[in-house]
Structure 1
Amino acid sequence: MHETPSAFLHFDPPLPGLVGGTILQGWLVGKPGHDYTDVRTVCGNAVFPGVHGNPRRDLAEFFKAPQPFLLAGFSITMTLPEGRHRLRFEALAITGRWEELGALDWNVNAAEARPDPEGLTPLNADAFGEALRVALRRLAQPSATIEETVRDVIAETPLRHHLQHPPRPFHGHLDQPRTWERSLFGRLPISGWIYHESQPIKRVLATVDLQAVQVLKLGRATEFLKERSGNSPLATHCGYDGFLDLPSQLPLPVTVRIYAELADGSWHLGSVARFTQTDHEFLKQAYGRFSPFTFWRTWRALSRKATSAGWHLPEGRGAVVRQVWQEYGEQAPRGHGPAPRRPVTGVPRPGIHLFTHNLNREGAPLFLLEYARQLRQQSAGPITVTSGAEGRLRQDFEQLGAKVQVVDATPLLRGRTAGQVRAQIGELARQVDLTGAGLVVANTLSAWWGVHLARAASVPSLFYIHESTSPNGFFRGLLPAPALAEVEETFRLADRVSFLTATTRHYYQALSDGSNYRLNPGWIEREAIEAFRRQHPRGMLRAELGVAPERRLVINVGSVCERKGQHVFARAVDLLWRRAPALAASADFLMVGGRNTTYDEDLAHFLAGLGRPNLRIVPENAGVYRYYGAADLFVCSSYEESFPRVVLEAMAFALPILSTNVHGIPEMARPDREALLVPPGDTAALAEGLHRLLAAPEPGRSLAASALARVGEFDLARVLPRHLALARELAPI
């Protein structure tokens, strides 16, 4: 056993492979505060990825670990020329950095110098198709060339996808992730199948970082295995599916591991695969302008580069290429950019018509409610609200004297062509009366159809955008390119389009000549929060919530969903427990905003597996100010935000803020001035931020004081006049 400042490790003597190559086996156990997710050996310019994470009961007993197994065993297959070689052993820290932990010399004989026949996993047809999609999307960048783009895609493709198939007596295959895979908000789709020849499998689990494993859903029917398994009853429902957390700090390619747990509680490492991925930001990118010639050249270049890299072109690729061609034809934009704008010149009328996608008590509809209150104070004209869904805010709007109407806008999403979408807009026009309206305000990208109704009725329109994503990303999988073009035209039709931040506006820059675009930040009613703080002393709120005086309260506020990244927050808290257990034990970590969704269920199961009793979910409730008033630290773990109300609220409650550095957040709370900002999805950086702000309160107090001073710039009394002035550019209100 070797000991380094950060780990204990052991190398078995290298062994010759069964069909060539050299195999290095051993184990690696990080010391407290040092977590390792992967291993490799490096010899000169050659890099050999390892299979790391074999369950070892003996090591758990030796190191007195609380869990029955340590995922510490590794195996690395290397193909080296004959002769003596110096091998560097490197481990990937959970922070995303490779660290050299040891070295050894090895003499390779002629038999071992034979290449491993499985050293280069052939690209399958699906992976080839996904690589083609990636190349075509990257070509939308003005400076991109086909040859350079295809070269980069091939260079980023793991040379070996399947590092290990389940060893006998297990049988199985990891179908997803493919060599190239898509993740969404740090969540990776997983699917495959596995069975044991003689014993039932109790659970299937997976991990990419070895920090924590996640249970997958086991039991999908696998009738196709009936004959292959010799009619084994254990193979009839052995499919598994689920989602796996993918921390953003891990460098590509990433390794995923599948474990099978038997009835006796033993764990067994099954499939191990490496993959590279495209994330939610990449998926927001549209294809470049439709060009059959560009498609053909990209496909041919990809085939040539793959062949020159040593891959055999996969069977069945023709069908996949045709599928990508069909998708490209449906989604790639046509035409030559937005046409010149034609402003509406309507007849002045006193009414104001507001459009919203729903009436839920959440960010964007609440924005519209406060906007309506200000309109009511400024104008005696009638206010009408048309919503695409019912919700609890109906009563609030009606208390303002507004007429509320709910219509079904979902048929718009069933349109496949521009003509079909326009026909559905015409149907909505027969349901929505705009004859008394002098101004239409459509709130959020989901209410885009309100602008089209306004244009048809010759009513000026104001379009508010809250989403930091493109229409292509927002409606991905819902609208093909011809129908999506109608959504994109909204940005030319609207007389004014108001963005909350410059970062958000960037996603929509190409959809208009920009003459109708404006920037206006969101707001907060600071006086209401100050009144709440005066009426509800901190000690009283902490007593109501059951928070002891000596404990720190850390809150993560927002609807529990993938985009808000609560899974990242949970992993960061777990890392804090590993690095500074006494500090982690002194705090309570609450995620306020739980709902009844599949993601909520997955998150609850994950928290149960972590076993951190002071980390929990609080259901969504109207009394969220109580948590701000009682808290010591506010954390935002979102992947995507434009101008989040929760950050403004934390600033107004004078809380230290730890947040992801996404979209409009640094325009609200500036880095190291009003907040500590970290990259989105980076669990290690978020854990380090928690450690910094909990271990030394003074920097947090300084950030909080600056945030409280800055939030005045976003006070309702200061910001709303700008929004009303924007409306007055279009109508006399």
Structure 2
Amino acid sequence: MSEAAGWQFDVEVHPAGWRFPAGPSWLAGWIFAGENRFVTDLRAWIDGRPFLGLHGLPKPGLDLKFLGRQGPPYSGWVIQVTPHRGAALLRLEARDPAGLWTEFFRVAISVAPDAPECPPPPALSSRLAGLVPPLLRLHAQRPLAPLAGLADEVVSAALAVPLNSLPNPPFHGALEEPRDTGWLRYGRLSVTGWLAHRTAKIRRVTALADAVQESALLHGLARADIGNVFADLPGREHSQFVGHVDLPANQGAPALLKVFAELDNGEKHLAFAQRFAPRVIAGADAPLPPLSRRTFARTLWALRGSARRHGLPLGPGAALLAAAKTAWHTYEAEAPARVRHHRPPAVVAAGPADNSPLRVLVATHNLNFEGAPWFIFELARHLTAQPGVSVCVLSPQEGPMRRVFEAAGMPVEVVDVSPALASASPAEFTASLHAAVKTDWSQIDLLVANTMVSFWAVHLATVVQKPSLLYVHESSAIRRFFEPVMAPALFPLVEEAFRAATRVVFTADSSRTVFDYLDHDHFRLLPSWVDVARIDAFAAAHEKAALRRKHGLDPAAVLLINIGSICERKGQHIYLRAAELLREELRHTYPGKRIKWVMVGARPGLYLDSLRQEAELHGLDNVVFLPETGEIHDFYRLADVFVCTSFEESFPRVLLESAAFRLPIVSTNVNGIAEMLAPDEAWLVPPGDRYQLAEAVKAALAAHFTGDTGRVERARATIVRRFHEANSLPLHLALAREAARR
């Protein structure tokens, strides 16, 4: 056992005397970074050639010795290297969570004379287009770090030889996702494949993409095609696995996924190891810096210097120029849009009384019990309360909100626009849309489209020359938002809907700036609202313990409540991680107190299944899942602390209502939330960070137990002053009438 850089380690497997034969050789050992520290990657250098290893492999005896449990983090590692003839030095490096590589071992080596010569390094021209974007992102993340050092990180990562692993008999299987690219949604990587064992039963399949958070995959799902290849393989009919694993935002590329199989005899085996390039399609991403020719030129120069230090030839001049042009076009297409309008949007004022007839068609993206449909319902209800105003509703999806609209006197029609949204071209989109929607526009004075997903309704209104309001609740750029679900050829149609709408309405300025380049002085920023009087009346009429008994919750427990559709964007997996982190600490801090983590908004699907399995895997018996409900005020009233874990939100009404109900609020600080609550009114944390979320929950619980209501009362006062419905809704009505007149 040796120590270096504060780590304990041992290289247990290596050639005798460090004399390498020709061909591949294995190195193996273990490394322990110390309490509350861990290794996120491992690599070997043979002279100037890097080889990536497999780190974080179980070492049962050592893991138990160092951690007092079996892990993760796991301490084992293996690396396969192929030293070239004449190589003289081997170095081992480990990466820490901050992304810093540190050498912890070096040794002089010799290599058999019949070993292959050192392979020629690739030319910079062949790699340049792929090196520029990651270097630009690193530079945006760490602007004070020397660009030359960042370039060395990117180049060495691109040159490293990866080590992947497939199952060995008696295991059989295939990892189908990820392959070379891993798709990330809100910090989670999709994992799919199949796995079976010839002689034993697989009890559990788990996966790791970081050092510490092991996730359960759903295994044993039906798989019909395996028998075509392995007709005699036991368990082949139910060998499918699916699920997600967490991937930290600062994870290096290429990242490493490990999939483990635990047998019914307790043995744990590495089934798959796969290196992949992470690609974010939803959620927080490392942005490119604003478009700048100077920044681009400095990036090219830094990569040129790094290539020289790594011994890479530049390549032909024409190839270098072509690669640089490709890199520039990529940068130009993906860099953040520049804000054109630095002036505030036009002010909307409540107009004089107007009782003229107004027939409104509301197009909402669905009829689920979600924030956006409730938002548009309350606006529609306010409109129908005005003399001469009537509202009907159009939705492409059925849902429980239909009953809510119809009970308020608003007829609902469900139309299937999915063929239009699945179109490959604008012409096909237009034909499919008009075939699906047969609205009598002669009976409509104004269209109100709810969410960016309802852009199709603006196109319908434009064709018949009817005015429209487009309410945008999203804070994600059009291309990124629609890329997973719609053909790129339709993206310009979404932009055209923004331009064609009579008014585009935002409740958060942070959302407005995302789409600023589409504004021709028709964007409007209006405050959202909360029905304070209704909330106060509800709170006075309902006793907390009675509501808990109604929903099967412990009247004496301390309840942390997360309200919102259980989906990746809402980040309930981070909520679960915080529950795991704090389980033992809260038991010791508040002995005898039953603290429950409640999620309201469960809907059937893989995400919910994976959360349930995660809770079971980690023994979280204090986690409760409850279905989506129209009785949402019950849960504000029965809660002790409200927790929002969303990765993206424009202006979430759950926070307005929580503040009105006088709940302590812990929330991610994303998009419009900072425009709603200040740091002295709620505990605000970055999205996706389970550690900071756990600390904020601890602080909120401490305030709850000590009776400190300072933040609660300040938040309530702010919400009532700025977002009372008596002040906000008349502005939305005035805008609707102004748009209709146009």
- TM-score interval w.r.t. the shorter chain? 0.7 to 0.9
Structure-1 separation of matches of 2:444 and 2:570: 37
One-letter amino acid of the structure 2 residue matched with residue 691 of structure 1:
K
Matched, 1:531 2:537: yes
Contact 2:187–2:283 (CA under 8 A) maintained in structure 1:
no
Contact 2:11–2:27 (CA under 8 A) maintained in structure 1:
no
Cα deviation code 1:12-60 (max 9, x no counterpart): 56734765789462243854xx263635479999987653332233346
Cα deviation code 1:644-703 (max 9, x no counterpart): 111111111222211112111111122x22222222112222122223333454697322
Matched, 1:368 2:376: yes
Structure 2 CA distance for partners of 1:677 and 1:422, relative to 1, 3 Å: same
Question: How far apart are 1:611 and its partner, in Å?
Answer: 0.8
Q: 1:407 aligns with which of 415, 438, 463?
A: 415
Structure-1 separation of matches of 2:448 and 2:115: 65
Corresponding residue SS for 1:233: coil
Structure-2 separation of matches of 1:210 and 1:122: 35
The 5-angstrom pairing of residues 316-327 of structure 1 reads: none
* TM-score, normalised via structure 1 length: 0.76
Q: 2:447 aligns with which of 425, 440, 464?
A: 440
Number of the residue aligned with 2:480: 473
Contact 2:420–2:432 (CA under 8 A) maintained in structure 1:
yes
Structure-1 separation of matches of 2:595 and 2:477: 39
Structure-1 separation of matches of 2:692 and 2:737: 45
One-letter amino acid of the structure 2 residue matched with residue 398 of structure 1:
E
One-letter amino acid of the structure 1 residue matched with residue 110 of structure 2:
A
Q: 1:687 aligns with which of 694, 713, 734?
A: 694
Question: How far apart are 1:566 and its partner, in Å?
Answer: 0.8
One-letter amino acid of the structure 2 residue matched with residue 563 of structure 1:
R
Matched, 1:204 2:205: yes
> What are structure 2's unaligned runs of at least 5 residues?
141-147, 292-302, 314-325, 339-355
Q: 2:728 aligns with which of 719, 722, 732?
A: 719
Question: How far apart are 1:213 and its partner, in Å?
Answer: 3.0
Contact 1:157–1:179 (CA under 8 A) maintained in structure 2:
no
Q: 1:564 aligns with which of 554, 567, 570?
A: 570
Structure-1 separation of matches of 2:77 and 2:62: 13
One-letter amino acid of the structure 2 residue matched with residue 606 of structure 1:
E
Contact 1:28–1:74 (CA under 8 A) maintained in structure 2:
no
Question: How far apart are 1:494 and its partner, in Å?
Answer: 0.8
Cα deviation code 1:283-302 (max 9, x no counterpart): 9999x99xxxxxxxxxxxx9
Number of the residue aligned with 2:165: 165
Structure-2 separation of matches of 1:233 and 1:311: 48
Question: How far apart are 1:489 and its partner, in Å?
Answer: 0.8
Contact 2:703–2:709 (CA under 8 A) maintained in structure 1:
no
Number of the residue aligned with 1:25: 29
Corresponding residue SS for 1:71: coil
Corresponding residue SS for 2:575: helix
The 5-angstrom pairing of residues 316-465 of structure 1 reads: 350-428=358-436, 431-465=438-472
Number of the residue aligned with 2:740: 731
Number of the residue aligned with 2:107: 108
Contact 2:43–2:51 (CA under 8 A) maintained in structure 1:
yes
Contact 2:164–2:275 (CA under 8 A) maintained in structure 1:
no
Structure-1 separation of matches of 2:152 and 2:11: 37
> What are structure 1's unaligned runs of at least 5 residues?
142-147, 290-301, 313-324, 338-347
Structure 2 CA distance for partners of 1:218 and 1:162, relative to 1, 3 Å: farther
Number of the residue aligned with 1:55: 58
The 5-angstrom pairing of residues 280-291 of structure 1 reads: 280-281=282-283
Number of the residue aligned with 1:651: 659
Structure-1 separation of matches of 2:199 and 2:544: 60
Q: 1:575 aligns with which of 552, 571, 581?
A: 581
Cα deviation code 1:76-106 (max 9, x no counterpart): 6788974698x7x75645xx57698xx86x6
Structure-2 separation of matches of 1:265 and 1:405: 55
Question: How far apart are 1:497 and its partner, in Å?
Answer: 0.5
Number of the residue aligned with 1:233: 233
Structure-2 separation of matches of 1:569 and 1:114: 57
Corresponding residue SS for 2:483: coil
**Larger deviation, residues 630-639 vs 548-557:** 548-557
Structure-2 separation of matches of 1:248 and 1:492: 34
Question: How far apart are 1:716 and its partner, in Å?
Answer: 0.9
Number of the residue aligned with 1:639: 647
Matched, 1:214 2:216: yes
Contact 2:204–2:216 (CA under 8 A) maintained in structure 1:
no
Structure 2 CA distance for partners of 1:620 and 1:509, relative to 1, 3 Å: same
Contact 2:73–2:211 (CA under 8 A) maintained in structure 1:
no
Structure-1 separation of matches of 2:501 and 2:71: 62
Structure 2 CA distance for partners of 1:136 and 1:422, relative to 1, 3 Å: farther
Structure-2 separation of matches of 1:415 and 1:188: 27
Structure-1 separation of matches of 2:727 and 2:468: 23
Structure 2 CA distance for partners of 1:213 and 1:59, relative to 1, 3 Å: farther
Number of the residue aligned with 2:670: 662
Question: How far apart are 1:128 and its partner, in Å?
Answer: 9.5
Corresponding residue SS for 2:186: coil
Cα deviation code 1:434-473 (max 9, x no counterpart): 2132222111222222222222222221111112223323
Corresponding residue SS for 1:435: helix
The 5-angstrom pairing of residues 258-277 of structure 1 reads: 258-277=259-278
Structure-1 separation of matches of 2:489 and 2:375: 31
Number of the residue aligned with 1:519: 525
One-letter amino acid of the structure 1 residue matched with residue 692 of structure 2:
A
**Larger deviation, residues 57-66 vs 372-381:** 57-66
Number of the residue aligned with 2:38: 36
Question: How far apart are 1:72 and its partner, in Å?
Answer: 3.2
Structure 2 CA distance for partners of 1:544 and 1:388, relative to 1, 3 Å: closer
Structure-1 separation of matches of 2:607 and 2:249: 19
Structure-2 separation of matches of 1:213 and 1:658: 25
Corresponding residue SS for 1:448: helix
Question: How far apart are 1:183 and its partner, in Å?
Answer: 0.5
| Backbone CA RMSD of aligned residues | 5.1
Number of the residue aligned with 1:72: 75
Cα deviation code 1:180-206 (max 9, x no counterpart): 422011221224566667656454321
Q: 1:618 aligns with which of 626, 641, 652?
A: 626
Structure-2 separation of matches of 1:114 and 1:379: 94
**Larger deviation, residues 16-25 vs 567-576:** 16-25
One-letter amino acid of the structure 1 residue matched with residue 374 of structure 2:
L
Number of the residue aligned with 1:243: 244
One-letter amino acid of the structure 2 residue matched with residue 676 of structure 1:
W
Contact 1:120–1:311 (CA under 8 A) maintained in structure 2:
no
Question: How far apart are 1:556 and its partner, in Å?
Answer: 0.9
One-letter amino acid of the structure 2 residue matched with residue 449 of structure 1:
W
Contact 1:583–1:695 (CA under 8 A) maintained in structure 2:
no
Structure-1 separation of matches of 2:155 and 2:224: 37
Question: How far apart are 1:114 and its partner, in Å?
Answer: 10
**Larger deviation, residues 413-422 vs 388-397:** 388-397
Contact 2:359–2:391 (CA under 8 A) maintained in structure 1:
yes
Structure 2 CA distance for partners of 1:550 and 1:178, relative to 1, 3 Å: same
